[in-house]
Amino acid sequence: MLSETLDLLAAAPFWIAVLRIATPLILGTLGVLLCERAGVLNLGIEGIMVAGAFTGWLAVYQGAPLWAGVLAAAATGALFGLLHALLTVTLALSQHVAGLGITLLATSLASYAYRVSFPKVDSPPTVQTFTAMQGLPIPVLNAQTPLTLLALLLVPAIAWGLYRTPAGLALRMVGENPAAAEGQGLSVAGVRTAALVAGSALMGVAGAFLTLSAFNAFYFNMVNGRGWVCVALVVFASWRPGKALLGALLFAFFDALQLRLQQAGGGVFGIELPYQAYLMLPYAMAIVALVVVARRAAYPQALMKPYRKGER
Amino acid sequence: MASRRAAPSDRPRLNAPALRLRGITKRFGSLVANDGISLDLGRGEVLALLGENGAGKSTLVSILFGHYLADEGAIEAFGAPLPPGQPKAALAAGIGMVHQHFTLADNLSVLDNVMLGTEPLWWPFSRRARARARLLDAAQRFGLQVNPDAQVGTLSVGERQRVEILKALTRGAKILILDEPTAVLTPQESESLFATLAQLVAAGLSVIFISHKLDEVLRVSHRIAVLRGGRLVADLPAAGADKAMLAEAMVGRAVPPATKHARAPGAPVVELRGGTVRGTGARPLLDGIDLELRAGEVFAVAGVAGNGQDVLAELLCGLHALDGGTLTIAGRALPARPRAFVEAGVARIPEDRHAVGVVGDLPLWENAVLERYASPAFSRHGIVRRELALAHAKSLVERFDVRGTESAGLATITRSLSGGNMQKLILGRALAGDPDTKSSPPLIVANQPTWGLDIGAVAYVHQQLLDACAQGSAVLLISEDLDEVFALADRIAVMHHGRLGAPKPAREWTLAAIGLAMAGGEEAAHAA
Amino acid sequence: MQLERRSTTPRWLLLGAPVGAIAFTLLITSLLVAWAGAPVARAYALLLEGGFGSRFAWTETLTRATPLILTGLAAAVAFRARLFNIGGEGQLYAGALAAVAVGGLHGGSGFDASPWLLFPLMMLAAALAGALLLLGPALAKSRLGVDEVVTTLLLNFIVLLFVSAMLDGPMKDASAMGWPQSVAIQDALQLGKLIERSRVHSGLLWSLAAAVALWALLKHTTTGFEIRAVGANARAAAFAGMPVAAVQVKVALLSGALAGLAGAIEVAGRAGYVTLDMSPGYGYSGIVIAMLAALNPLGVVAAAIFVAGILVGADSMSRAVNVPTYIADVIVSVSLIAVLVATMFTQYRLRWK
């Protein structure tokens, strides 16, 4: 079995799958990272990814070019991010409750909109998705779509933004000590809202990847917990973009592996496992990763503490 | 040809004072924190803002800096109107503030903290080298040593204050506001702060200095403004003022100090030998502490915050186990559980009344039985006996003069009580928590018991502690307020880096000696 | 723009806030219904009628409310102690499986013991299954500082996959055609009907009893006091001597047990066996119900009936007019957000600069 596994790992299609599975995770994790670095836990990600997936797909189905679809998904995410900001920043409501409410709202709105738009179909109409970037000279990467390249480029871009620009410093400070930011003339509410809008836009794009690249239509349950995995990955990544990429790739690696193992058959060390065991593996890994890292986690100090300006 | 005469407001105000406040009023619900305050700050002047806790000093400067929005009134800085409610505008007008609770991010470096907000947010890259140069230049000019790359979380309190000051100076502050800056410093560190202030004034800055310590105020300031109950009650040059006049202005009446009773100390109540608590760092939190507390005495532990006093208090409250050494309370070794200590008769007054002393969201009567609800006095078979708990709460409220319960009575949500009333509730719970005994508890552990209280509440708390002492309680007082320490203590020891210096009777200590001990000088003398 | 805490709440606001929340929800819903091309007023009428308008409607609503009360209580008690248990769905399924494991026929006639013994055992097994499932994340939180939101959420997916594996394998009912289902529990262990010719079963009484019991626990017992204090301020509770870690474990066990019981009661009262789709998100709805009820156990009953009525009414409405059933979830989530905002305004006022 070991030699089979090694053969598996050496083959290009495996790594192509890894990158493909990792893309929405990279985008989603970066989105959560931006929000949490600014001190806001955004549990709306699962719903925002669904809404982004739906909006992107619908736009393309209606005839818009693919990138316009991505933009539509980003705008949808941004809108929900704005709602989240209104609830948790302006009104300082519980971030847990607001996030879960938004997940439910976004998911149900997307499902409703789908049914209203396509009342009588059994299977969703497909669209023409992004095609592989065959022109690129890099192997494995040239089998991916442009959204994957975008995700990979965003990692160093966001790292630069966080650590080398005034806006990034402001964002980090707002997540560590909002009073300090306020004392230096910044608007905590403004920075947090901007972070939520930007982060949620990324989450929307993560969703669009599913309908416009990985698959070619919108299905119910297509996000299937990926949003929650991103929340776990941010902790695993210690809120750093580089480690977020690593975490996403690691998770995608195990997800692709369990897929291949399932298909290859032969079980693990000769024991036949039901296919569900393989499917459980990624979620179990995410939990294990969280537990292992949690002790040493350097939380942004103001995470999950609502900031009420000027309250005695 | 007649030229239009410039209207008075058009002329540049060359001689305008640094600050001019007119009629500042601020209300928080029904509480009037500032009531029609009008004040001037001259250029190159040090103005002390004096007043007891709750008089409105912090509110006033927060309005100046833009954290709060005044309900009425106007402010001019160097002759130009100051847009209200925006720290950005205050910073632009040259107002800088050193907050009482430092506004620094522990996880970021000194340079990051200082640079924040100094560059427009839309710039694609930060000019760190330039900012670093500016920081080091200001540090040198005003004699404040800093390491720009140090993580703020690793700095001492004095160092952090220096960073706070530099934050303001690198932004070109011409008016510096310092909110209770010496509250967290040793006497020696305070001296070096005063030297810094003198340098700032020589360089042309104006300073507003908030304090409730009369000695400092008289030393450092040119003018003194006294606030009481939100109003400005005195505005006079420091040269002609004296402590008695200022104290009376602050309080409005003569407040007799708490009366100490003369008594002979009794049997030992607390015996701590070689007490060591390790913790996660290299140095132990408590390092071989020997402490003997006797009935009927007040033993004060002085020291700068963060030297282990909190751990000592927690040890005697039952929250820590010893890693080395032995501890007996009234002759018995107790398990490290708060409930065991409560049952042994230890009365505990924690340092942070809001975060640790009470559960703010619960009603008053539930907080009154927070420590003893599981005892047979207040519960049976796991059911809380409400009537008994309510009755007990009622007697506490009456006996310890807890006010603020007019509208909702014993069901008043505890967080709505004022600091002083909350402390009286905690005091009552500690001193009279056991409804079955009438006598004073054998041991009282009081950690910063009067922090943030007005003079009336401070006097009340002091009297309660002294009365309990006269009835035979042993009192361990931990306080950063040296005035309080000298007012109450029979014996004083100083804590530094987890070690407790040798205790001496209060009358044998001088301020200079205590200051030296707080900074570790005694250790150095012993080591030499 | 700034939030300021109010010292008192004017009466008109106390009454107006919930009304405002309802009105806002109705507005959004109307827009969505209109978009679907259905007549708005008629759609509302059908919704209300379908949920509350007839004896049949009420029995359907109460049947739906039965598990929702329990998952709502599970979420309420956990959230009270600041343990954000989002795993109610998984705990429900775990309880359902455990119930079938103890009370099921398993190809024969099941365990040969008196139903008087077997029924409580079955319920206990379900409660235990749910409780143990939540214990892991709860301990990870208190000992290791792992955020319980993500761990309980991810566990839901794992549990559902486990149930699927069980239904395909050891617990499969071989004689059933079509979708996989588990073996059924013994007839004697099924819950009897409360109301003739309806689906309302005596599980409803269990749910109501649980709500009252939880209310009494929180208000009158020392454990309830501890739960409330630890949830509001764990540091102060620890200082006062409350056994905080033990309290957190108790809350986790209680919360998981309630959700597990929801699963067992659904099995015993409805089909008698477990299927993959037996819970259309009851666990998640329970969270929304708990928040609507402001974490009050008696309020949970009212909120559960409200949400159940909406869900049932939306089903019936969508069959009559062309409005997708997803409108129900939209109504629930919008009303949650609206209620939160409205409650906020009773405690704070917004000030313009």
Residues B242 and B285 in one domain: no
Q: Nearest CA to CA, how far is B284 from chain C (Å)?
A: 22
pLDDT for res A276 = 86
DSSP state of B212: S
Report the SS3 class of residue B98: strand
C2 touches chain A (CB under 8 A): yes
Residues B272 and B243 in one domain: no
* Alpha-carbon gap, residue A288 to A269, rounded angstroms: 22
Instruction: Name the B residues in 2-31 with CB < 8 Å from any C CB.
Output: 29-30
Give φ, ψ of A208 to 5 degrees. Answer: -60, -30
Report the SS3 class of residue B22: strand
Amino acid identity of residue B121, one-letter, is L
Say if CB B166 and CB B138 are below 8 A apart: yes
Residues B319 and B443 in one domain: yes
Neighbours of A265 (CB within 10 A): 7
* Alpha-carbon gap, residue B347 to B341, rounded angstroms: 8
Across chain B, mean pLDDT equals 87
User: Is B399 contained in some domain?
Assistant: no
Sorted by sequence, the CB contacts under 8 Å of residue B486 that are 6+ apart come out as B492, B506, B509
Q: Measuring CA to CA, how many Å separate C8 from each of B283, C13, C167, C349?
A: 50, 11, 56, 11
Q: Nearest CA to CA, how far is B166 from chain A (Å)?
A: 12
pLDDT in tens, B206-243: 999 998 778 888 889 999 999 988 899 989 998 888 87
The DSSP bridge pattern shows strands B286-294 and B72-77 to be unpaired
Interchain CB distance below 8 Å, C330 and A109? yes
B375 touches chain C (CB under 8 A): no
* Alpha-carbon gap, residue B104 to B160, rounded angstroms: 8
User: Is B203 contained in some domain?
Assistant: yes
Say if CB B214 and CB B61 are below 8 A apart: no
Interchain CB distance below 8 Å, C223 and B382? yes
The CA R_g of chain A, rounded to the nearest whole Å, is 20
- Which residues of B are less than 8 Å from C2 in CB distance? 69
DSSP E strands in B221-285: the ranges are: 223-228, 231-237, 268-277
pLDDT in tens, C177-216: 777 887 787 777 788 787 777 888 889 999 999 999 999 9
Helix extents (H) in chain A = 2-10, 12-37, 45-61, 66-85, 95-117, 146-164, 166-176, 178-183, 188-209, 226-236, 241-264, 275-294
* Alpha-carbon gap, residue B160 to B306, rounded angstroms: 14
Residues B164 and B307 in one domain: no
Q: Report the domain count for chain B.
A: 2
Residues B296 and B228 in one domain: no
- Which residues of A are less than 8 Å from C139 in CB distance? none
Say if CB A52 and CB A108 are below 8 A apart: no
Determine the structural domain holding residue B61 and report its residue range: 46-66+86-251
Report the SS3 class of residue B116: coil
Sorted by sequence, the CB contacts under 8 Å of residue A56 that are 6+ apart come out as A69, A70, A72, A73, A204, A207, A208, A211, A212
**Total-model pTM:** 0.87
pLDDT for res B527 = 40
Closest alpha carbon within chain A to B85: A310
Distance, CA of C213 to chain centre: 16
User: Is B383 contained in some domain?
Assistant: no
Kindly tell me if the per-residue pLDDT of C245 is higher than 60. yes
| Beta-ladder partners of B346 | B443
pLDDT for res B2 = 43
| Beta-ladder partners of B445 | B348, B476
Q: Measuring CA to CA, how many Å separate A220 from each of A70, A107, A259?
A: 19, 9, 21
- Which residues of B are less than 8 Å from A173 in CB distance? 105, 108, 112-113, 116
pLDDT for res B4 = 46
Q: Measuring CA to CA, how many Å separate B239 from each of B219, B220, B243, B325?
A: 9, 11, 12, 54
Interchain CB distance below 8 Å, C340 and A98? yes
Helices (H) and strands (E) in chain B, counts: 17, 22
| Beta-ladder partners of C1 | none
* Alpha-carbon gap, residue B317 to A114, rounded angstroms: 61
Helix extents (H) in chain C = 11-35, 40-52, 55-80, 88-103, 115-144, 148-168, 203-220, 222-232, 234-240, 244-269, 282-292, 297-320, 327-347
Q: Measuring CA to CA, how many Å separate B24 from each of B58, B63, B70?
A: 13, 9, 6
| More confident: C348 or B80 | B80
Domain final position from B194, B218, B251 = B251
Q: How many CA atoms lie within 13 A of B173 on its CB side?
A: 28
ipTM associated with this complex: 0.88
Tell me the average pLDDT across B20-28.
90
Interchain CB distance below 8 Å, B362 and C223? no
* Alpha-carbon gap, residue A312 to A165, rounded angstroms: 33
Residue C81's closest CA among C207, C218, C269, C210? C218
B373 touches chain C (CB under 8 A): yes
Q: Band the pLDDT of B14: cuts 50, 70, 90.
A: low
Q: Measuring CA to CA, how many Å separate A27 from each of A32, A110, A116, A131, A287?
A: 9, 20, 29, 19, 20
pLDDT for res B451 = 84
Closest alpha carbon within chain C to B408: C8
Torsion sign across C-alpha atoms C25, C28, C34, C35: negative
Residues B454 and B510 in one domain: yes
Q: Nearest CA to CA, how far is C324 from chain A (Å)?
A: 6
Residues B234 and B299 in one domain: no
pLDDT for res B7 = 44
Torsion sign across C-alpha atoms C220, C221, C224, C228: positive
Each domain of chain C, given as residue ranges in start order, spans: 65-292
Say if CB B348 and CB B360 are below 8 A apart: no
pLDDT for res B90 = 92
- Which residues of B are less than 8 Å from A312 in CB distance? 28
| Rounded (10°) angle between helices C55-80 and C40-52 | 80
Say if CB C69 and CB C300 are below 8 A apart: yes
Kindly tell me if the per-residue pLDDT of B380 is higher than 80. yes
Residues B283 and B424 in one domain: yes
Closest alpha carbon within chain A to B86: A185
Kindly tell me if the per-residue pLDDT of B256 is higher than 70. no
Neighbours of C269 (CB within 10 A): 23
DSSP state of B185: S
Kindly tell me if the per-residue pLDDT of C311 is higher than 70. yes
Kindly tell me if the per-residue pLDDT of B161 is higher than 50. yes
Residues B224 and B334 in one domain: no
Residues B208 and B279 in one domain: no
- Which residues of C are less than 8 Å from A229 in CB distance? 154
* Alpha-carbon gap, residue B483 to A131, rounded angstroms: 77
**Angle of CA points B106, B110, B114, to nearest 5°:** 110
Interchain CB distance below 8 Å, A180 and B120? no
Choose the closest CB to C222 out of B85, B350, B373. Answer: B373
Domain final position from B189, B219, B251 = B251
List the single best residue of C3, C156, C311, C348 to mutate versus A (max A Cβ within 10 A).
C3
List the single best residue of C6, C146, C292 to mutate versus A (max A Cβ within 10 A).
C146
The DSSP bridge pattern shows strands B206-211 and B223-228 to be unpaired
User: Is B352 contained in some domain?
Assistant: yes
pLDDT for res A268 = 63
pLDDT for res C107 = 61
Give φ, ψ of A232 to 5 degrees. Answer: -65, -40
* Alpha-carbon gap, residue C122 to C146, rounded angstroms: 32
C321 touches chain A (CB under 8 A): no
pLDDT for res C344 = 86
**Residue holding tokens 């008695």?**
B244
- Which residues of B are less than 8 Å from C351 in CB distance? 69
The DSSP bridge pattern shows strands B46-50 and B72-77 to be unpaired
Say if CB B318 and CB B340 are below 8 A apart: yes
Residues B343 and B435 in one domain: yes
Between B and C, how many CB-CB pairs are < 8 A? Answer: 66
Choose the closest CB to A290 out of C1, C151, C344. Answer: C151
pLDDT in tens, C75-133: 999 999 999 999 999 999 999 999 998 888 766 667 777 888 888 999 999 999 999 99
pLDDT for res B177 = 94
Kindly tell me if the per-residue pLDDT of B523 is higher than 60. no
Question: Tokens for A162?
Answer: 């966080």
Kindly tell me if the per-residue pLDDT of B10 is higher than 70. no
Q: Measuring CA to CA, how many Å separate C301 from each of C22, C54, C87, C159, C337?
A: 18, 20, 20, 27, 19
Interchain CB distance below 8 Å, C228 and B382? no
User: Is B169 contained in some domain?
Assistant: yes
Mean pLDDT per 10-residue segment, chain A (312 residues): 71 89 97 96 96 96 94 98 95 90 95 90 87 84 90 96 94 92 90 97 97 91 91 91 94 87 68 82 87 76 72 39
- Which residues of C are less than 8 Å from B361 in CB distance? 232-233
- Which residues of A are less than 8 Å from B117 in CB distance? 170, 181, 184-186
Closest alpha carbon within chain A to B87: A185
C200: left (phi over 0), alpha (psi -120 to 50) or beta: beta
Q: Nearest CA to CA, how far is C236 from chain B (Å)?
A: 4
Amino acid identity of residue C143, one-letter, is R
Kindly tell me if the per-residue pLDDT of B200 is higher than 70. yes
B411 touches chain C (CB under 8 A): no
* Alpha-carbon gap, residue B309 to B449, rounded angstroms: 13
Sorted by sequence, the CB contacts under 8 Å of residue A304 that are 6+ apart come out as A39, A40, A41, A95, A96
Report the SS3 class of residue C5: strand
Cα dihedral C297, C302, C303, C308, rounded to 10, equals 130
Residues B204 and B284 in one domain: no
Amino acid identity of residue B167, one-letter, is K
Question: Can you give the CATH number for the domain in which B55 is found?
Answer: 3.40.50.300
Q: Band the pLDDT of B528: cuts 50, 70, 90.
A: very low
Residue C75's closest CA among C66, C67, C84? C84
Report the SS3 class of residue C349: strand
